[in-house]
Amino acid sequence: MTEKDTASPESPFTLSGKTAIVTGGGRGIGRAIVQRLVSAGANVLAADLDQEALQETQSSVHNPERVALVCGDLMQPALPQEIVNAALEAFDAIDIIVNCAGFSWDSVIQKTSDEQFLAMLNIHIVAPFRLLRAASDYLRATAKHEIAAGQRVMRKVVNITSISGTGGNAGQAGYSAGKSGVIGLTKTLAKEWGRYNVNVNAVGFGLIQTRMTQPLTPEAKIEMAGREIPIGVQPAMLDSIAAACPLGRIGTPEEAAGAVLFFCSPLSDYVTGEVLICSGGYHF
């Protein structure tokens, strides 16, 4: 199905009536996740640092009224609570949380500053922690009410990790540490929140076609916290990874979103605390 389709009668599930929060929803994998969730019937609160990119995401779906937007820096401590409040105000529910926001700021360890390392931890593990903590009151209170009424309503958390977090990668001490931390958070919350009927899982990506994995050029940069940070991958490395990948290519954002959609759907109702690797079979 395309991003402008609605869930077909042949679909094994629908997310109609569900509300999702997706961080990093302005572009790349995050945008593809928003599109997949809306296509399956969900309402989505998309959060991102870039207002223009968020608006492009909203206009890319068939039902833009089902997408609400919050623009802000997830590394600011107050924003996660603002996102939770906005989702409840817009759609009066939270059923799915996808922690997708992130970026890479790479160096070998002797060239990595404290600022650089802490930024990687802040965006990849501290921000998801804060968002899930902010949502915990709603998730627990709602589940207790449902359980008392004899209902089992499953809710979903999907945290995004990486094969850099599962296997490490030279030049990515901060990024790998942050993405590894996501796995620990995932497994811990799966144990804490199982009693509330919340599935907590992670998807670990290999190389996916986004601006973070575009061929490295002097012009390829993003601005974060007032700094210009180079992004991209050496073309020779991209070619070598594609050649080493059992599927022989780099993945697309839509393929990445498909793995996330599984964990957002009723198909994963008895799966929790797991890490699904979506890398075409490639591992560092």
Catalytic residues: 175
Contacts of 154 (CB under 8 A, 6+ apart): 197, 198, 199, 266, 269
Report how far apart, in Å, the C-alpha atoms of 178 and of each of 120, 163, 208 are: 6, 12, 18
Positions of E strands within the chain: 19-23, 43-48, 67-71, 96-99, 155-162, 198-205, 221-224, 227-230, 275-278
How many Å apart are CA 175 and CA 23, to the nearest integer? Answer: 17
DSSP structure class, residue 15: -
Contacts of 94 (CB under 8 A, 6+ apart): 19, 21, 84, 87, 88, 135, 138, 139, 155
Contacts of 205 (CB under 8 A, 6+ apart): 29, 160, 161, 162, 163, 251, 256, 278, 279
How many Å apart are CA 54 and CA 60, to the nearest integer? Answer: 10
How many Å apart are CA 191 and CA 111, to the nearest integer? Answer: 38
- Pairing of β 43-48 and β 67-71: parallel
